[in-house]
């Protein structure tokens, strides 16, 4: 039996593997699935087994999984392609007789009413239809989704989006990775859905205030109409499909869809989730 991590060379996948190793899982019991052998060289150098495969090429997944494996399916990042890509992984894992399939979906699961959730909901349905024992890790927002844009916020003195008074219960990416590792190494998680989010839901004016305090530069939150924000995103080079998704997500934030604080994430990782302030400080330091 192996613990198999798909998308292993991505940011989340690497953190999951680091957490598994820190928990004492032998490197030889971990399988990293990735498209690019060279990008996984650091993992194989530590004894992690590599299996090269591509969500887009189902034939490459044929020998990736084995009977009794515990599999983490990390969702792909190609909007509009993910349902088909994920189904290829689900079918391969089911055909191999995997013991568990954990999937990184989205907060709210079937109740999520924004476009980004559609492919995640379809994937959950396909997993249920497969008959595999499953765990739905319905991840909320990573705080890093926002701190990745600290440069423009500091340059222009503004955090800009089309959110009015909505709140986001984000957590650090490492928190979500720790939850996945806990499920993959623990017992009693089969056929469970976890709503994963940070312990505290924050507003964008509060986020801007934290940036101001920690950076020493005045930053405010600026709400703009959805159409104007879409143009800003397109002007920054984002594809239309991604700009539309982000505008739609901001509307969902105003509806409270990313503000839930179930406590599932803290319970799985056995500690409080990483505070907003700590992730902002780390981003500024780097």
Distance of CA 20 to the CA centre of its chain: 17
Say if 286 falls within a structural domain: no
Give the pLDDT of residue 85. 95
Residue for token pair 């497969």: 130
Average of pLDDT values for 226-238?
96
Going by their DSSP bridges, the two strands 167-168 and 202-203 should be labelled as: antiparallel
**Do the beta carbons of residue 107 and residue 257 sit within 8 Å?**
yes
- How much is the mean pLDDT over the chain? 97
74-108 pLDDT per residue, tens: 998 888 889 999 999 999 999 999 999 999 999 99
DSSP codes, 64-113:
T--TT-EEEE---S-TTTHHHHHHHHHHHHHHHT-SEEEEEEETTGGG--
Residue-range definition of the domain harbouring residue 118: 3-142+172-196+260-273
Return the closest-CA partner of residue 190 out of 116, 119, 101: 101
Lowest-confidence pick of 43-47, 73-77, 157-161, 279-283: 73-77
Residue 50 has pLDDT above 90, yes or no: yes
Residue 149 has pLDDT above 90, yes or no: yes
17-34 pLDDT per residue, tens: 999 999 999 999 999 999
Say if 30 falls within a structural domain: yes
Give the pLDDT of residue 119. 97
Say if 13 falls within a structural domain: yes
Q: CA-to-CA distance for 115 and 196, rounded, in angstroms?
A: 19
186-213 pLDDT per residue, tens: 999 999 999 999 999 999 999 999 999 9
Give the pLDDT of residue 75. 94
- The angle at the Cα of 68, spanning 66 to 74, to the nearest 5 degrees, equals 70
Say if 29 falls within a structural domain: yes
Residue for token pair 């599932």: 264
Give the pLDDT of residue 107. 98
Residue 58 has pLDDT above 90, yes or no: yes
Element (H, E) at 135: strand 134-139
Non-local CB neighbours of 284 within 8 Å, separated by 6+ positions: 150, 211, 214, 215
Give the pLDDT of residue 1. 83
Per-residue confidence band for 60, with pLDDT thresholds at 50, 70 and 90:
very high
% of the chain at pLDDT higher than 90: 96
**Do the beta carbons of residue 115 and residue 142 sit within 8 Å?**
no
Return the closest-CA partner of residue 181 out of 168, 196, 167: 196
Give the pLDDT of residue 79. 82
Tell me the Ramachandran region of residue 191: left when phi exceeds 0, alpha when psi lies from -120 to 50, beta otherwise. left
DSSP codes, 160-183:
EES-SS-EE--B-HHHHHHHHHHH
CATH code of residue 30: 3.40.50.720
* Biggest CA pair distance of the chain: 56
Say if 279 falls within a structural domain: no
Give the pLDDT of residue 230. 97
Q: Which two tokens stand for residue 116?
A: 């980004």
Average of pLDDT values for 35-57?
94
Per-residue confidence band for 163, with pLDDT thresholds at 50, 70 and 90:
very high
Give the pLDDT of residue 80. 82
Say if 80 falls within a structural domain: yes
Q: CA-to-CA distance for 246 and 110, rounded, in angstroms?
A: 19
- The angle at the Cα of 48, spanning 47 to 54, to the nearest 5 degrees, equals 145
Say if 125 falls within a structural domain: yes
Q: Which two tokens stand for residue 124?
A: 């959950």
Say if 79 falls within a structural domain: yes
Q: Which two tokens stand for residue 96?
A: 């191999």
Average of pLDDT values for 48-60?
94
Tell me how many domains the chain contains: 1
């Amino acid at each position: 039996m192996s613990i198999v991590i798909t998308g292993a060379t991505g940011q989340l996948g690497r953190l999951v593997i680091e957490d598994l190793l820190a928990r004492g899982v032998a490197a030889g019991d971990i399988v990293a699935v990735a498209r690019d052998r060279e990008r996984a060289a650091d993992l194989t150098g530590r004894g992690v087994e590599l299996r090269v495969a591509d969500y887009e090429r189902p034939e490459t997944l044929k020998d990736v999984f084995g009977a009794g494996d515990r599999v983490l399916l990390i969702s792909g990042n190609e909007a509009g392609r993910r349902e088909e890509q994920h189904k290829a992984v689900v079918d391969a894992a089911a055909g191999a007789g995997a013991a568990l399939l954990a999937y990184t979906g989205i907060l709210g699961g079937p109740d999520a009413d924004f476009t980004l959730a559609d492919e995640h909901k379809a994937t959950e349905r396909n997993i249920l239809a497969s008959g595999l024992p499953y765990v739905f890790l319905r991840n909320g927002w990573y705080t890093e989704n926002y701190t990745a844009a600290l440069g423009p916020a500091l340059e222009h003195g503004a955090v800009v989006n089309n959110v009015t008074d909505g709140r986001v219960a984000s957590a650090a990416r490492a928190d979500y990775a720790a939850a996945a590792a806990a499920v993959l190494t623990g017992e009693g998680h089969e056929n469970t859905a976890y709503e994963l989010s940070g312990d505290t839901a924050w507003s964008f004016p509060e986020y801007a205030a934290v940036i101001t305090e920690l950076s020493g530069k005045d930053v405010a939150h600026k709400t703009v109409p959805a159409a104007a924000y879409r143009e800003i995103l397109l002007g920054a080079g984002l594809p239309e499909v991604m700009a539309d998704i982000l505008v739609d997500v901001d509307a969902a934030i105003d509806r409270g869809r990313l503000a839930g604080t179930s406590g599932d994430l803290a319970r799985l990782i056995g500690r409080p989730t990483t505070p907003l302030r700590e992730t902002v400080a780390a981003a500024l330091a780097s």
